[in-house]
Structure 1
């Protein structure tokens, strides 16, 4: 279901309640009148379902989402950056938590009404031939430099994240370029740092608990559970509370989770924080499923693998796009089944991008790494090339479904926070592809073309 279950003749309000529609210009503008091919008349009744095949007009629909409202009173939906010279990071517990911005400052610079035009300079690396994606502008180099310096200072000075011989890998991850590309609407560098810390912390858990740097499927559940308490704190007796608090400093992943979450809570509302914790639980469940298959040497069916990847995926990253953007999508609107489907499809598509770009890297690593081309090859009897190309098509189908259903949701519920959130998720999807394509330190393409 991706049409909100609203009675005929009604519209969503900013709080997610149902009200009689008003005649605000942004609600009656042509861009929010869904074409008949996108949202059939049948959706007018409550709870209507629209087959995906009937709404798959992703090009026009995505332009509609990214263009957003343009009438009176909508300037605040396009926040201005108000960067200041970066200051040395301070521990979050020593600072007064700022009040989250619910109404971003009106812009002081021109804002394109459509998807930003990509830079005229070619991006580093080559996109996968045939992969459905949208180019993005080169990230702001000033912001990239500020986030790069800030995240490295945090990793080394605050959480003691890695030893000296891991520095090249940390730099090669290019997290600053990644986050600036994915969050162009972040009002400040401090907002970008929220996403950067969480991304680095999540990768520390993956590397140190699951993958390259000492990770193992054996005992993973216990390690993940204790690390998760750095995000979702333990509430226990006075006798045992100090032992738990001490454990949060026991290893790099837990130190990173604890610190990144403390910073995040300075800007996030309670509902945004709880949403993030929920998505991190999903992520950890996916890690455990993959670990269980590794322990039993099980290659799942393709659909089973895709189910695992719906949990072991990037979902926690686009789901915080409103916190990083300095506003909030109300909890009742975020919880709508239509919004949940859009977010899930975005997470699934971006995760298959990772499978495709990291394919040769994983083949070169010891042991067997499950990714979509490997599973297709094994379960469907395809050769490596055919399996890889089919995985590209799986990604493309997910992307088109994401865009079509996001467009349907934008038409069904043209609330400003919904439209801005959908735009933010779409931009995150594009920025994620940009980072994978351009990170030639980590990734290279197979010779299939």
Structure 2
């Protein structure tokens, strides 16, 4: 599914947020400070430590966390529902959001999001979600990246006749918010090209019939599309046909040129990692296509497995490339790291499920999202399905928070920075969703 919608989130007052602020307060790749309109607030220093946060013995979050513990928090979570609704009702209506740059600061000196207006998803208000705030807001940098991204799309013929929608979606702002440890517009542009190419693959081949999508063609199209980033090597006589196929399809051109641009900054192991994540993403696209062909709704467990592979993970996997460092391949593939990072990406994608429901109601086609799947399987009301989906999201984020904190204490400096970047990415993604009209506008 295309990953654009509106969302808000409550405060993130916890130890990993402080760790993130510490790691990203003075990143080593700030080449142009003029782009920063907001900087992360430095956390308070502990007395008797020389002004630094302790590398070991940092307190981990308390209370029940981890997969399988959401039920233990259901009762407490439901007690919060009335308070959350009261907060939402006191906010200004009409799509107002809390600006990350003016968010209040908690006792530890970390900027926090106090929650925003509940968004209507076809008659059901989405509860506030457990999610960190964005670490910065730099509109000038976002505008620069977005302008370059739209110019690139126009140059290669991507979204021809619909560039106004690409412009309005403001993918440049997403890159600026999701990658706060760099202000190099070219690095952010490289990531933006790859992300937009992946979403275009979804739109052109999977979701949008007006752009030529058809379930019967999906596997064949994705198979050729993958060779745009991991090239095929045919006998010489077939090279012209391959090149013609690449040039004539704007999605393939976008994938090829986008990943070539990212290759200026990524080492071979990082590119191999991204090739793997995109291949898995394409498997997820095919899985959804099979449900459409069969005309069936998947079980909840099956859908959640799907959302781990059809997710934001290819975007999150670029965190170190954009930041200008390299997470060792052995650490990225460590099962403990893989578990934490995939939970974060799944949670981010469930946010899209929750906040895209209103848009999907007007699409005229069968759409798959977690609330719909839960409502079908459990025969519950839409409101109950939304609340249960939000609880699953929160469980995943809390589990990532706990496990990332533990990994950061024992892993390499690169792993600490990568995990901090994933946490920051979640906050930036939330902030971008709160403003992009791709799902909120009926014509986007």
Task: Give secondary structure in 2 for the equivalent of 1:369.
Answer: coil
Gapped regions of structure 1 (runs ≥ 5): 1-57, 87-108, 445-449
The aligned length equals 358
* Alignment match, 1:207: 203
* Alignment match, 1:162: 159
Task: Give secondary structure in 2 for the equivalent of 1:218.
Answer: helix
Contact 1:300-1:375 within 8 A present in 2 as well: yes
* Alignment match, 1:66: 20
Structure 2 Cα separation of the partners of residues 292 and 265 of structure 1: 33
Gapped regions of structure 2 (runs ≥ 5): 1-11, 45-98, 105-112, 119-125
Contact 2:101-2:137 within 8 A present in 1 as well: no
Structure 1 Cα separation of the partners of residues 365 and 39 of structure 2: 51
Compare 344-353 and 137-146 and name the one that shifted more: 137-146
* Alignment match, 2:241: 243
CA offset at residue 67 of structure 1? 4.3
CA offset at residue 235 of structure 1? 1.6
* Alignment match, 2:351: 353
Alignment of 1:196-345 (within 5 A): 196-212=192-208, 213-345=211-343
- Give the one of 120, 133, 136 matched to 1:135: 133
* Alignment match, 1:424: 421
- Distance of aligned partners of 1:369 and 1:111 in 2 relative to their CA distance in 1, 3 Å threshold: closer
* Alignment match, 2:54: none
Q: TM-score, normalised by structure 1?
A: 0.74
CA offset at residue 139 of structure 1? 2.2
CA offset at residue 221 of structure 1? 0.3
- Give the one of 167, 178, 183 matched to 1:182: 178
- Give the one of 148, 169, 178 matched to 1:173: 169
CA offset at residue 261 of structure 1? 1.1
CA offset at residue 337 of structure 1? 1.1
CA deviation profile, 1:419-449 (whole Å, cap 9, x unmatched) = 11111111111111112222245238xxxxx
* Alignment match, 2:117: 126
Alignment of 1:35-50 (within 5 A): none
CA offset at residue 390 of structure 1? 0.9
Structure 1 Cα separation of the partners of residues 204 and 20 of structure 2: 38
Task: Say if 2:405 is the partner of 1:407.
Answer: yes
CA offset at residue 79 of structure 1? 1.9
RMSD of aligned C-alpha atoms? Answer: 2.8
Structure 1 Cα separation of the partners of residues 134 and 21 of structure 2: 15
CA offset at residue 278 of structure 1? 0.2
Contact 1:313-1:347 within 8 A present in 2 as well: yes
Structure 2 Cα separation of the partners of residues 438 and 152 of structure 1: 18
* Alignment match, 1:365: 363
